[in-house]
Chains A and B, each alone.
Chain A
């Protein structure tokens, strides 16, 4: 018993001196500095502050949906689901049916993909599998440059270069040779579905190609080596890589689709802006985004405004669904290789 207490005394005495030695400088600080400088309070505040902003971003998406929903109640109450299936869009009689513009949106986007997907995948294959290093970098840069051109500049170019060219050369040519097909009927004005689809294809091409390129690159090199090892040609190896990456590539294409559906300015400037459903690519059409761009500031009645905001809500929901699927596909693709 005695020994133990003596031992304790020794330890106490020594740890006390040690304490004094080590404590000389920091202990002198003021209370506030001690709180903020020494304890975990700074870390706590920092973490919660960044969390707050993350929550803000989270709420933002929800807030957007809520805002559009509450501001389109008149239209939702009046037309119900008929808003999506009725084909009359007439501000004069206050009847709003979105079918023609949904049709125009979907068709112009799909046509754009028809052109952009083969090209985009071709570019991606070229960049990731074929191009030598010295060519790959500048080429990637150029395609990214294409993505950086503002939409309105595409539209400007569309109005003054693409449309006259279509009107004077391409559309007459198509009519002369394929005039019997329903796609090439009517007067070739230049403005219309064809112009919109072409412009859109140029605009989504860099998205599809750059995301696809990244996905192809994420496929492990060992897979290629294995294929080369059994005597496959470069194209056969590429096919194998493509088939291994197909879900990610589908994601890339869907991201392109999402972009095409929401693209506004360039389309508005060349599509002709008439809410009709026609098989002919020469005829004018209208997209959801174009309606908003053209008519939003002209909406005189509350119902008209509500119908337009409902259109924005529909556009929002469609693009969110497409993007969710696309992101999940791209994410799962990246994850697959990271784990393996």
Chain B
């Protein structure tokens, strides 16, 4: 049987075309996260499809950042532990090498954090170089490509030797995105990437996310529901460590299933 035939067979037998249209890029099953004895996340089940944007929303302390950080094992850095299953392309993330996982799953942080001792050029190439690639010819090419993808090239092409800390906050954040793109990840995690930025820079980041979706799977955490509505394909609502609702963004923002979700989205929370 060919692949197509299997697919149609499956679709026929299960009767739900939606499920098998694509195996998920990232998948969490009965996923829990702990900090010491504190349970930060409880039984999360979620699938992130490839080359889509999934937004995670919820009030402070709901566990959304913890979930995001677990995906590329950054929770370990701050001393978290997890149980259950979390997979990338069906492979258990916790059983893989953390370093390898982080190369496939890049991350952009809340506060722009370009390396202050490096030039813009070296910032973009930092991950690539420090991962042991030294092919000098490619470097300039990669830098230009990454900066173009991050919509920053035109603004910095004349000052690539300046410090990464010498540009505006919005530019710094796009520099961090370029730095992440440069190691050619499959997934980009964004932890409130625009919360430290002004409205104009925020708009630029949102546009950028829309562009990046063509090549990357993106998971974005935001406490700004409007932003989630603008940039994402599906949205997950976390509350008190639980996944309350996960559905298409349009549906979520027009006819949420749960009362809690509706309260949060409409700002009637708490």
Cβ contact of A6, chosen from B6, B90, B98, B186, cutoff 8 A: B6
B90 touches A15 (CB 8 A): yes
Shortest C-beta distance, A311 to chain B (Å), equals: 49
A26 / chain B contacts, CB cutoff of 8 Å: 100, 103
Q: Give the residues from 20 to 72 in chain A that come closer than 8 angstroms, CB to CB, to chain B.
A: 22, 26, 33, 37-40
Q: What bracket does the count of chain A residues touching chain B fall in?
A: 10 to 19
Shortest C-beta distance, B97 to chain A (Å), equals: 6
CB within 8 Å for A15 and B23 given contacts A22-B186, A40-B97: yes
Shortest C-beta distance, B255 to chain A (Å), equals: 31
Query: B89 on the interface (CB 8 Å rule)?
Result: yes
A7 / chain B contacts, CB cutoff of 8 Å: 10, 20
B20 touches A10 (CB 8 A): yes
Contact with A along B180-214 (1 / 0, CB 8 A): 00000010000000000000000000000000000
Contact with B along A73-104 (1 / 0, CB 8 A): 00000000000000000000000000000000
Query: A18 on the interface (CB 8 Å rule)?
Result: yes
Interface size on B, residues (CB 8 A): 21
Q: Give the residues from 51 to 109 in chain B that come closer than 8 angstroms, CB to CB, to chain A.
A: 89-91, 97-100, 103-104
B104 / chain A contacts, CB cutoff of 8 Å: 22
B20 touches A38 (CB 8 A): no
CB within 8 Å for A38 and B97 given contacts A3-B14, A15-B91: yes
CB within 8 Å for A14 and B23 given contacts A3-B10, A3-B14, A22-B186: yes
A160 / chain B contacts, CB cutoff of 8 Å: none
B90 / chain A contacts, CB cutoff of 8 Å: 11, 14-15, 18
Cβ contact of B13, chosen from A3, A19, A40, cutoff 8 A: A3
Query: B132 on the interface (CB 8 Å rule)?
Result: yes
Interface class of chain B by DSSP: helix
A14 / chain B contacts, CB cutoff of 8 Å: 23, 90
Query: A243 on the interface (CB 8 Å rule)?
Result: no
With CB as the reference atom, state the residue of chain A lying closest to B132.
Answer: A37
With CB as the reference atom, state the residue of chain B lying closest to A42.
Answer: B99
Query: A9 on the interface (CB 8 Å rule)?
Result: yes
Query: B7 on the interface (CB 8 Å rule)?
Result: yes
> When chains A and B are docked, how far (Å) is the Cα of A61 from the Cα of B103?
43
Query: A13 on the interface (CB 8 Å rule)?
Result: yes
> When chains A and B are docked, how far (Å) is the Cα of A126 from the Cα of B8?
84
A11 / chain B contacts, CB cutoff of 8 Å: 23, 90
B103 / chain A contacts, CB cutoff of 8 Å: 26
Q: B residues touching A (Cβ–Cβ < 8 Å)?
A: 3, 6-7, 9-10, 13-14, 20, 23, 89-91, 97-100, 103-104, 131-132, 186
